[in-house]
Structure 1
Amino acid sequence: MHDRELYPIGDAARRSGLSVSAVRFYADAGVVEPTRLNEAGHRFYDVGAIARLELVRTLRELDTDLGEIRRLLGGGTTLHDLLTTHLEIVERHERTLRARRAVLRTLIRQGGTTAQADLMHKLVSMTDEERERVVDDFWNEVGEGLDVPDGFVDRLRTMRPVLPADPTADQLEAWIELADLVRDAEFRDSVRTYLRDTYSTPEGQTVASAPVQDFIHTDGAALVGEILAVHRAGESPRSPRAQEAVVRFMEAATALSGMTLTPEFRDRMAEGYRRIPDLMRQIAEEDAASEGPVYDDTHGRYLALVAAVNGTAPEEGPEDLPYAWIADAMRAPTTGP
């Protein structure tokens, strides 16, 4: 369509998706008047008027009353303003439908009640500040009086959901589940019990200490990333590139305890890494038989849902690491006769 071209009422109706009688009604009601009447009294519409008719059609489909429509179309708005308003309304309606779909899918999956439906609608309609408050309340209760090193709970608190402005249905469903969980007293108690049992022991206190946590989440993570990149490239664990990466990691790890990396310590670390898959299988079996809180059902579930809400790929789990390859790389070089 050309900006200055005029279209008879039949074309305007077809282009706007309205019936001819509806176009006449909105003209007579003073909502969208024709651009021009010819000598015979026939109505003609330009591009701007047709855009207004399209917006009217959308607003009526959303059950907007005529008074509100007149307000939106008033003030001599430009075509660009009309199109921008139209897009904002459609996108807002799309977000509303997406939220409703997430609620319905969750209710169907859970077999929810009317009360649960009301709660879920409130959860997906929360402001950013309200969502922050829900998560803060959770960590305030979980961390109160917990016997762990200073700053550890604050570090856990930073791993929190941030629902984007235009979330997908999957992100909304993850938020509904997460918000429901963190408000649940039994889940809070389970997470608290898991963290206490795991990080209040001498070994756990060491892992939860600031230097070790900083290493795990910053330098150590980057160094492990370098090792994995070498492995994915198909390099031998004894190649110069693999040795350079693994030695950097081991030197940084031993420096945490003020030790020096010796051939004997390299071999001990290598043996430790070689045994990790067996230890993980043993832990999994113990968790399966345990009646107490375990990682996957507590803090692990929280982190998985946070990743889903934030739309971030889950981090490579410990079970995915090439432990045998890393152990071979860590082994101290043999000295020939």
Structure 2
Amino acid sequence: MSHPELYPIGDAARRSGLSVSAVRFYADAGVVPPTSVNDAGHRMYDIDAIARLELVRTLRELDTDLDEIRRLLGGGTTLHDLLTAHLAIVEGQERTLRARRAVLRTLIRQGATPAQADLLHKLVSMTDEEREDAVDAFWNDVGAGLDVPEGFVDRLRRMRPVLPPEPTADQLEAWIELADLVADPAFRDAVRAYLRDAYSAPEARALATEPYQDFIHDSGGPLMAELLAAHRAGESPRSPRARHAATRFLEAATALAGTPLTPEVRERMADGYLRVPELMRWIAEEEAASSAPVYGDTHGRYLALVARINGTEAEADATALPYAWIAEAVRAGEPAPGGSAR
């Protein structure tokens, strides 16, 4: 029968990261007694006892009470249990340090006051329920009295931050900024004003109805992504894949208005894509000259932060989309079974 290897107190101290006097103290206190005492009266420790000493050191560094440590180690735990507990502690330290780093970065960037530092700490320490309540309160205020089609605000409310159990520093920083914004009455007013201006006008109300929103957020997005995938793959806009994807997107878009996809409609939509960059430059110039709330500073900022928190890709820069390529794919039409355009 094999016997476990035993180490003298000096080796046990080095392996556990404690001093010899600390090892003696924990033995005398009944926290981690030596595995055995040899004939010369020297205390000897096996690997299990050393693992306990290392766990004790970690717990003490976390200011864990000695009685709590004694209760933990008095339960006859195995080496596996000790290592599992040790891992959980280290991971907890990592999460705490990550949160502190996010707070410190934000404080340095903002030049915050002591009161703001306390607020940031509270924001990071919020529970999942408190985060949900903060977002709900924001959309309740934004949607109050907003003259938009029924269900529009509820759809916006579903695009919400979900902080993962082990967030990165960037996700924590984004949450700190978002939590600060959703609690700011001025930001709420700005988002409400933007949504009112963008969707309350008669000519724009259709964009906020359920069919259009379903197309934008559910069916239309994947169809456009399928088309853009062909572009990223380096395919010609006249390739069968690109033309088929463009046709599927156009059919879904025209179905909203209850109109068939005719060659004339296809041509108008192709021309529209060619004019998009110019239209966007005009919109940007109008927004720069206007004092009214704009997308990037209001709802767009909210969505960008939610994307960072959720670890999802933010919306692509609309100015970088290949509009001329899309227009050619739209104009080409879906290939017929024989391979030629219909």
Q: Same fold (TM over 0.5)?
A: yes
Secondary structure at the aligned position of 2:97 is classed as helix
Q: Distance in 2 between matches of 1:263 and 1:42?
A: 94
Q: Distance in 2 between matches of 1:17 and 1:70?
A: 19
Asked whether the equivalents of residues 223 and 249 of structure 1 are also in contact (C-alpha less than 8 Å), the reply is: yes
Calculate the aligned-residue CA RMSD, in Å. Answer: 1.6
Asked whether the equivalents of residues 263 and 332 of structure 1 are also in contact (C-alpha less than 8 Å), the reply is: no
Partner of 2:338: none
How many correspondences in the alignment? 333
**TM-score, normalised with respect to structure 1:** 0.95
Secondary structure at the aligned position of 2:44 is classed as strand
Secondary structure at the aligned position of 1:166 is classed as coil
The Cα of 1:212 is off from its aligned counterpart by 0.9
Partner of 2:298: 298
Q: Distance in 1 between matches of 2:275 and 2:26?
A: 77
Partner of 1:205: 205
Matched, 1:139 2:139: yes
Decide which moves more: 58-67 or 28-37. 58-67
Asked whether the equivalents of residues 227 and 242 of structure 2 are also in contact (C-alpha less than 8 Å), the reply is: yes
Partner of 1:278: 278
Structure 1: which 4+ aligned runs deviate by more than 4 Å?
none
Q: Distance in 2 between matches of 1:332 and 1:10?
A: 80
Partner of 2:152: 152
5+ residue gaps, structure 2: 334-342
Q: Distance in 2 between matches of 1:272 and 1:90?
A: 56
How is 1:44-59 mapped onto 2 (pairs within 5 angstroms)?
44-59=44-59
Asked whether the equivalents of residues 243 and 332 of structure 2 are also in contact (C-alpha less than 8 Å), the reply is: no
Matched residue type, 1:107: L
Matched, 1:41 2:31: no
Matched residue type, 2:128: D
Partner of 1:252: 252
Residue-by-residue CA offset, 1:61-97 (whole Å, 9 max, x unaligned): 2222322221222222211111111111121122112
How is 1:15-34 mapped onto 2 (pairs within 5 angstroms)?
15-34=15-34
How is 1:65-214 mapped onto 2 (pairs within 5 angstroms)?
65-214=65-214
Partner of 2:262: 262
Partner of 1:328: 328
Query: Relative to structure 1, is the Cα distance of residues 217 and 288 closer, same or farther in structure 2, using a 3 angstrom cutoff?
Result: same
The Cα of 1:320 is off from its aligned counterpart by 2.4
Query: Relative to structure 1, is the Cα distance of residues 3 and 300 closer, same or farther in structure 2, using a 3 angstrom cutoff?
Result: farther
Q: Distance in 1 between matches of 2:329 and 2:72?
A: 68
Identity rate of aligned residues, in percent? 76
Secondary structure at the aligned position of 1:32 is classed as coil
Query: Relative to structure 1, is the Cα distance of residues 60 and 286 closer, same or farther in structure 2, using a 3 angstrom cutoff?
Result: same
Secondary structure at the aligned position of 2:234 is classed as coil
Asked whether the equivalents of residues 238 and 332 of structure 2 are also in contact (C-alpha less than 8 Å), the reply is: no
Secondary structure at the aligned position of 2:204 is classed as helix
The Cα of 1:202 is off from its aligned counterpart by 2.3
Secondary structure at the aligned position of 2:203 is classed as helix
Asked whether the equivalents of residues 3 and 47 of structure 1 are also in contact (C-alpha less than 8 Å), the reply is: no
Secondary structure at the aligned position of 1:108 is classed as helix
Residue-by-residue CA offset, 1:2-48 (whole Å, 9 max, x unaligned): 98211111111111111111111111111110000112211111111
Q: Distance in 1 between matches of 2:173 and 2:331?
A: 46
**TM-score, normalised with respect to structure 2:** 0.93
Query: Relative to structure 1, is the Cα distance of residues 332 and 58 closer, same or farther in structure 2, using a 3 angstrom cutoff?
Result: closer
Matched residue type, 2:162: V
The Cα of 1:129 is off from its aligned counterpart by 0.4
Residue-by-residue CA offset, 1:199-239 (whole Å, 9 max, x unaligned): 11123211111111111112211211121122222222233
Secondary structure at the aligned position of 1:218 is classed as helix
5+ residue gaps, structure 1: none
Q: Distance in 2 between matches of 1:280 and 1:301?
A: 18
Secondary structure at the aligned position of 1:234 is classed as coil
Q: Distance in 2 between matches of 1:329 and 1:94?
A: 50
Q: Distance in 2 between matches of 1:236 and 1:40?
A: 85
Secondary structure at the aligned position of 1:5 is classed as coil
Q: Distance in 2 between matches of 1:17 and 1:105?
A: 31
